[in-house]
Structure 1
Amino acid sequence: MTHTEVPGTTGGRIAPLTGWRGDHDYFRFAELDRLDADAVLDVLLGRRLGVVFRGVIDAAASAELVRRFWDSPVRKRRGGEVCESLGYYVGAYHYHKPTDRYLDESAEVAPHLDDLLDVPDEPTRWFRAELDARLRRDGARLRPAEQGGRPACPVLVRHWNAQGAFALQPHEDSSQLGWPEQAGFEIQRTTERVVAAVNMCLENGEGGRLVVWNVVPDLASRTRLGLELSGSPYPVESTAGHDSLWLEVRPGDIYVFNGGHVHGVEASAPGAKRTTMAWNMGFCDDRNVVTWT
């Protein structure tokens, strides 16, 4: 991996982002047809941008999870931060909330998530089990983030339906972890390494690709754009000069990548549905990889 500063521009135009970018060997997705926890660890340790496991989610499990998602009595609508129109979700998200509120919401939705996920071959269970087993070989472990013995929500089940260029606007997942009302919450320590995004595709029509730009914005760029505590949305013009990868996402795929890079999700074709399960994770110290939503 190489460290390169990308020069900005002057005048009235939006200057390109400055920050860290990886070399050719780093900036790629490994593609595998089975889960390999070592490949996930490569992402967590900053050795590779990402990995996609193709077709590893059982089709019957995906269909049942989608059905339960749409039938869930606690399914909610969300929009505004990084999407152009409203989406739906089951779970709890930490974005710009006091820690106690996030953990309260996580506890409230927990039994409903348990019911939704009570499906044979449900993928979050075996993914977590295999990654935890791999980490334990090195004396570490995987667990939900917690505070005062109260765990974070383990997964968001979500659907976005924007009709613009992006279903999720260009953003990154690190800046929001600096939210002052979450001071002391252990997820804030994960920014010292890699904040990884985990996504499991249950359904997806035409479009809906993941795009990742080869830049982890520095504080100067984030502050100049007023995004130092949100990480979203980045003007597309600010990614000028940075290489990008466009990843086709298919039902049954699991993909994990460094969420500190600016990334977005292409809008799906009209009438298509894109439903995923997702969380973030990272090392908060040498022995604990914590997860949150």
Structure 2
Amino acid sequence: MQQSTTRLSGQQADPEFFRFEERGELDYALVLDVLHGRRLGVIFRDVIPPAARKDLTERFWASPARHHREGEPSHYVGAYHWNKDVDTYLDESAAVAEHVQQVIDAPDSPWHVFRQGVNEALREEGASLRVAQMNGRSACAALIRAWDKEGDFSLDPHEDEAQCKDPRQHGFEVQRVLDHQICAVNMCTEHTAGGRLVIWNIRPDDATRRSLGIEQTGLPYQAEALADFEELRLDIREGDVYAFNGAFVHAVDANAGNRTTVSFIMGFTDPRTVVSWT
């Protein structure tokens, strides 16, 4: 069966859930709502100071560790866990760790500010946030990237749940997040035009993934197959920070110029622990 004609099945959320809260300042209680599955997403407008945006963006483009990724074309500093065995991911994370820190350690870094705020909010619940680990080795702290793919989407429709099912990553603690909620976090430090976040009201099930042959990747979902589902298109601007449930199919639509973000994924592994990875 052709992917474009496959009928998608899975969970659809009610209207009260399927929306983004929007704020002009950071409110970490709303982020915890996303982590706990109480809301779809939240966006904080213009919360990254202009000097921090400029400094972090310049560090990214100047980094000797910046590479160009094929397939889903982007410039990036960091490591992807997507579609690889855990040892490869952890090896790549270790190799690039100092370069990642060099980028995100800019003064007033949104990475540090956001994680500190989330950690303080989690402490009220007796929990904490840290980078994911396995056998004493750490996941990548952040992925800094700028999309440059041509077409309707600069990042094709996908979801972040399937990639955590990869048997090549058995034993990696991020797989325990599947018992909870997957929260994608993005911080926009550079933006020209376009590049909206698109999210559809469908959280695909394993039957859909099997029919599409994407059980362990969650990529791609064809726009034609998503046409029957409600969608949100959210303008993203320089200085914005946003977090949302990454188990719902989402994409980045076409952008012009540079759209540079600092990103990671996070979720509970147990009631006391939230881990992050890239």
TM-score, normalised with respect to structure 2: 0.97
CA distance in 2: counterparts of 1:22 and 1:173, whole angstroms: 17
Letter paired with 2:262: M
CA distance in 2: counterparts of 1:31 and 1:268, whole angstroms: 22
Number of aligned residue pairs: 278
Q: Does 1:22 align with 2:13?
A: yes
Deviation string, structure 1 residues 197-236 (Cα, Å, up to 9, x no partner): 0000011122100000000001111111111111001011
Corresponding position of 2:269? 284
CA distance in 2: counterparts of 1:277 and 1:41, whole angstroms: 19
Q: Which runs of 5+ in 2 are unaligned?
A: none
CA distance in 1: counterparts of 2:3 and 2:44, whole angstroms: 43
Q: Give 3-state SS (helix, strand or coil) of 1:206's partner.
A: strand
Question: Does the 8 Å CA contact 1:38/1:134 hold for their aligned counterparts?
Answer: yes
Corresponding position of 2:69? 78
CA distance in 1: counterparts of 2:3 and 2:187, whole angstroms: 40
Deviation string, structure 1 residues 130-185 (Cα, Å, up to 9, x no partner): 10111111111100110112111110000111120000000001101111110010
Deviation string, structure 1 residues 241-291 (Cα, Å, up to 9, x no partner): 11000000000000000000000001113xx11100100000111111100
Higher strand share: 2
Question: Among residues 51, 64, 85, which one is paired with 2:42 in the alignment?
Answer: 51
Q: Does 1:192 align with 2:192?
A: no
- Deviation of 1:105 after TM superposition, in Å, equals 1.4
1:116-135 paired onto structure 2 within 5 Å: 116-135=103-122
Q: Give 3-state SS (helix, strand or coil) of 1:74's partner.
A: coil
1:81-160 paired onto structure 2 within 5 Å: 83=72, 86-160=73-147
CA distance in 2: counterparts of 1:185 and 1:132, whole angstroms: 22
Deviation string, structure 1 residues 70-117 (Cα, Å, up to 9, x no partner): 11011011121xx3xx21100111112221221121111111122222
CA distance in 2: counterparts of 1:162 and 1:105, whole angstroms: 23
Letter paired with 1:38: A
Question: Does the 8 Å CA contact 1:16/1:241 hold for their aligned counterparts?
Answer: no
The Cα RMSD (Å) is 1.4
Question: Among residues 216, 226, 233, which one is paired with 1:239 in the alignment?
Answer: 226
Corresponding position of 2:236? 249
Corresponding position of 1:182? 169
CA distance in 2: counterparts of 1:51 and 1:65, whole angstroms: 23
1:212-231 paired onto structure 2 within 5 Å: 212-231=199-218
Q: Does 1:266 align with 2:253?
A: yes
Question: Does the 8 Å CA contact 2:4/2:222 hold for their aligned counterparts?
Answer: no
Question: Does the 8 Å CA contact 1:51/1:256 hold for their aligned counterparts?
Answer: yes
- Following TM superposition, the consecutive aligned residue runs of length 4 or more in structure 1 with deviations greater than 3 angstroms are 10-13
Question: Does the 8 Å CA contact 1:171/1:263 hold for their aligned counterparts?
Answer: yes
Question: Does the 8 Å CA contact 2:6/2:211 hold for their aligned counterparts?
Answer: no
CA distance in 1: counterparts of 2:147 and 2:80, whole angstroms: 15
Corresponding position of 1:61? 52
CA distance in 2: counterparts of 1:173 and 1:153, whole angstroms: 16
Q: After alignment, is 11-20 or 62-71 more displaced?
A: 11-20
Question: Does the 8 Å CA contact 1:16/1:237 hold for their aligned counterparts?
Answer: no
Question: Does the 8 Å CA contact 2:183/2:246 hold for their aligned counterparts?
Answer: yes
Change (3 A) 1:146 1:13: closer
Corresponding position of 1:37? 28
Corresponding position of 1:7? none
- Deviation of 1:13 after TM superposition, in Å, equals 6.0
- Deviation of 1:54 after TM superposition, in Å, equals 0.3
Q: Give 3-state SS (helix, strand or coil) of 2:154's partner.
A: strand
